[in-house]
Amino acid sequence: MALLYRRVLLKLSGETLMGDQSFGIDPLRLSHYARQIKDLRDLGVEVAVVIGGGNIFRGLQASGSGIERVQGDYMGMLATVINGMAIQSALEGLGVYTRLISAIEMKEIAEPYIRRRAIRHLEKGRVLIFSAGTGSPYFTTDSAAALRANEIAADVILKGTRVEGIYSADPELNNDAEKFDRLSFDEVISMDLKVMDMTAFTLCKENDLPIIVFNIMEEGNLKRIAIGEPVGTIVST
């Protein structure tokens, strides 16, 4: 089977891991993600994953609780490590070899990020799970995804969401929202569409790294994207 993308970075939000819960990790949602990633790996695609920590803690929550912003951001980074460990466990339960990599040193749990070593893991067929964001406060996991994707020379960023792609308005709130199949980076900026935070989006634009926004909830979408089927919305030059 011919592959359109041979090395991808999958960006997942922590909130989607909650499923129908208000907090924490839904085992069914975790299993769903692991199966889709395994299917992609079985095709021969090299896969890296970045997941947020919003199901546990977001740095921006800190302001309302009296926690200083920088401290809150570090707490959010630790939440992404917890989610990374959960995905690692779910994947290895399916027989997928993984490496959990942290931008903050915690050698008993995860490897430190070393670019050449990370690329070698991909070449050996291991799924990389990047955690702890960029390791610095004030940066989101979107920024971490854009940074790592460029560093490992990924062909595309796949941003998994609950909707079918990018719309003119929130489709969960507006039934008349128009779905876009393809957009340029400049069109996204001119229409003020919220694809990723601007730091991450600019990094992708400057390095000509395409982004595909798609529905991660639908089984098989990752495989369909890898072989070139039109799924979601692609943003490119």
Per-residue pLDDT of 8-48, as tens digits, reads: 999 999 988 888 887 899 999 999 999 999 999 999 999 99
In a domain, 65, yes or no: yes
In a domain, 51, yes or no: yes
d(CA 61, CA 45): 36
Query: b/e per residue, 91-115, with b = 16+ CB within 10 A?
Result: beeeebebbbbbbbeeeeebbebee
What are the CA-CA distances from residue 68 to residues 118, 157, 172, 195 (Å)? 33, 32, 33, 28
pLDDT at 165: 94
Q: What is the pTM of this model?
A: 0.94
pLDDT at 1: 67
Q: What is the CATH number of the domain that holds 48?
A: 3.40.1160.10
Q: Please, which pLDDT band fits residue 171 given cuts at 50, 70 and 90?
A: confident
Domain span including residue 98: 7-236
In a domain, 130, yes or no: yes
pLDDT at 199: 93
In a domain, 55, yes or no: yes
Whether 170 shows a pLDDT value over 80: the answer reads: yes
Whether 50 shows a pLDDT value over 70: the answer reads: yes
**Residues paired with residue 50 on neighbouring β-strands, in sequence order:** 11, 130
Q: Please, which pLDDT band fits residue 59 given cuts at 50, 70 and 90?
A: low
pLDDT at 61: 62
Structural domains of the chain, count: 1
- Dig out the tokens for 176 from the structure: 């008349």
In a domain, 28, yes or no: yes
Per-residue pLDDT of 116-155, as tens digits, reads: 999 999 999 999 999 999 999 999 999 999 999 999 999 9
CB 69 within 8 A of CB 63: yes
Give the mean pLDDT of 45-70.
Answer: 83
Give the mean pLDDT of 172-192.
Answer: 91
pLDDT at 60: 58
In a domain, 1, yes or no: no
Instruction: Evaluate the CA torsion angle 151, 220, 125, 85 in order and state its sign.
Output: positive
Q: What are phi and psi of 194, to 5 degrees?
A: -90, 90
pLDDT at 39: 95
**Any idea which residue has 């609950």 for tokens?**
162
Neighbours of 68 (CB within 10 A): 11
CB 37 within 8 A of CB 222: yes
Report the percent of the chain where pLDDT is more than 70: 97
Give the mean pLDDT of 159-182.
Answer: 90
CB 235 within 8 A of CB 229: no
Report the percent of the chain where pLDDT is more than 90: 79
Give the mean pLDDT of 192-211.
Answer: 94
**Residues paired with residue 8 on neighbouring β-strands, in sequence order:** 47, 156
Coil, strand, or helix at residue 5? Answer: coil
Q: Indicate the average pLDDT of the chain.
A: 93
pLDDT at 196: 92
In a domain, 2, yes or no: no
In a domain, 199, yes or no: yes
